[in-house]
Amino acid sequence: MLSVLDIASQKQVLAKKGSMGEKPFSLAGLKYPEVFQEILTCDSEMLRIFQHVEKFAETDNSVLIWGESGSGKELIARAIHMISKRKDNNFIAVNAGSFADDLFTSEFFGHERGSFTGAVKDKKGFLEEADGGTLFLDEIGELSLPIQVKLLRVLQEEEFYRLGSTHNVKIDVRIVAATNKNLFDEIKRGKFRKDLFFRLNINAIHLPPLRERQGDVQFLAEHFLSEFTKQYKKSIERISAPVMKLLKNYSFPGNVRELMNLINSAIVVESGKELRKDSLPSYFLDQCRVQPEVLFNGQKLKSLQEVEKDHIRMVLEHTNHNKTVSAKILGISRVSLISKVKKYELEK
Ligand SMILES: Nc1ncnc2c1ncn2[C@@H]1O[C@H](COP(=O)(O)OP(=O)(O)OP(=O)(O)O)[C@@H](O)[C@H]1O
Ligand SMILES: [Mg+2]
């Protein structure tokens, strides 16, 4: 007899095979497939990432998730928690960008009654709430430098003081952080502390943007079509070919969240059996008119300079920044390489 999970993953395989007409994508090779059921994808790179997530999750290391807004960082953080030995304790998600410094300190560390005007009773902070569990710090790149210092101290000492208290509190928290900023750039600009970065980036996960996931725009669009059609009790059966073409060629800066909202809004508007262009929001149609030629198969077409920069970066990483060896591989002089490294800000 098939378990619920078997049926769910069979459905996923069939759905993906059906919609893509390509080789089936399956979560079957994973150790914890049930944890990834909600993260819909048919992209092989995402499957590879799930395998890494499983390995990282079993350790108690800090994990840093890199990815654009709406690309699913929080879903991955939850998956890490669900796999980890901490799964029966709290998962506390905090958006680091949404607090001013003072508020962050009192919310993060908690406070004692009377420690500031308005502190009418003792309050546990996020750190204590997450004790024994996982603290997910989203938009870590938004934390101010003084708060970064405080956070690093807690991570190193595994204890802290509530605001207004002289008693230290011991905690056992796993940190999963996420960023949509390039933290290497933030470190260069003096906005992010290197020591905190290395403490957080022990295991790194890079989530690709939706536009780079093979087949996912169509797969997810069809999934959201069926979800919202049910939710709004409509009888829309398919997405028209011109709409699918526009979707596939769009860059989706807001990633899966943007695609989901777009289909949601279009379903509300559409009254026929097919989702047509006329039902799409005008911001989207305007964007499609502005940059139709910049994308090819949903991928942003890079300028020659961008390609050169990416390639030099890759070679430097491969040679551990050995300029002599890198210049040889690239077929240019060492002097010329040094000038390009400077131009593209690729110094280690
Ligand atoms: N692969 C996916 N399958 C289904 N839903 C997804 C997927 N990826 C993201 N979503 C949905 O898109 C929304 C955004 O996802 P999430 O909050 O995880 O993104 P994020 O990277 O943390 O975004 P932000 O940078 O804005 O915090 C959520 O509603 C989430 O459920
Ligand atoms: Mg998020």
Q: 180 CA distance to ligand 2 centroid (A)?
A: 9
Domains defined for the chain, CATH in brackets: 1-60 (no CATH), 61-78+85-206 (3.40.50.300), 211-299 (1.10.8.60), 304-343 (1.10.10.60)
Ligand 1 contact via 67 beta carbon (within 6 Å): yes
Q: 124 CA distance to ligand 1 centroid (A)?
A: 28
Q: Is 221 exposed, middle or buried (0-12, 13-18, 19+ CB in 10 A)?
A: buried
Using CA positions, which residue lies closest to atom 12 of ligand 1?
257
Q: 262 CA distance to ligand 2 centroid (A)?
A: 18
Antiparallel, parallel or unpaired: β 295-296 and 274-275: unpaired
- Ligand number nearest to the C-alpha of 79: 1
Give pLDDT, residue 3. 39
Q: 334 CA distance to ligand 1 centroid (A)?
A: 44
Helices (H), 281-333: 282-290, 304-318, 323-330
pLDDT along the chain (348 residues), means of 10: 38 42 69 94 93 96 96 97 97 88 82 73 87 96 92 88 80 95 93 95 94 92 96 95 93 95 96 95 87 60 84 93 95 92 86
Per DSSP, the three-state class of 106 is helix
Helices 304-318 and 323-330 sit at what angle, rounded to 10 degrees?
Answer: 130
Ligand 1 contact via 40 beta carbon (within 6 Å): yes
